[in-house]
Homo-oligomer: A and B are copies of this chain.
Amino acid sequence: MNAPQGEPPPAPMRRIKLSDQIAEDLCRRIARERLAPGDRLPNERALMQHYGCAKGTIREALKSLEVQGLVTMQSGPNGGPEVRPISVEAAAQQLRRFLHFQELDFAQVYALRRSLEVALGASVVGRLGAADFQRLEDNIAACEAANAEGRRGTGRIVEVDFHDILCDASDNPLLAFMCRFLNSLLRDLVEFRSESLTEHEAFGAHNLASHRALVSAFRAEDADGVRREMHEHMCCAEHFMQRLDAKFRKDLLSTRVPGARAAE
Contact = CB atoms under 8 A, between A and B. Distances in A.
Interface of A: 19, 27, 31-32, 56, 59-60, 63-64, 67-69, 86-88, 90-91, 94-95, 97-102, 104, 108-109, 111-112, 114-116, 118-119, 123, 172-175, 177-178, 264
19 contacts: A31-B264, A56-B56, A59-B60, A64-B67, A68-B94, A86-B101, A87-B98, A90-B98, A91-B94, A94-B95, A99-B174, A104-B172, A108-B175, A111-B172, A111-B175, A112-B178, A115-B116, A116-B116, A178-B178
A102 B87 CA distance: 12
A98 B86 contact: yes
A63 B174 CA distance: 29
Contact of A173 (B64, B69, B108, B123): B108
A12 to B, nearest CB: 16
B68 A112 contact: no
A18 to B, nearest CB: 12
Provide the main secondary structure of the chain A interface.
helix
A174 B112 contact: yes
Given A69-B98, A99-B177, 12 more contacts: A63-B67, A68-B94, A86-B102, A87-B98, A91-B98, A98-B177, A99-B173, A102-B173, A104-B172, A108-B173, A108-B175, A112-B172
Nearest to A64: B67
A116 B117 CA distance: 11
Nearest to A116: B115
Contacts of A86: 98, 101-102
Given A98-B91, A115-B115, A115-B119, A109 B174 contact: yes
Contact of A111 (B56, B59, B98, B123): B123
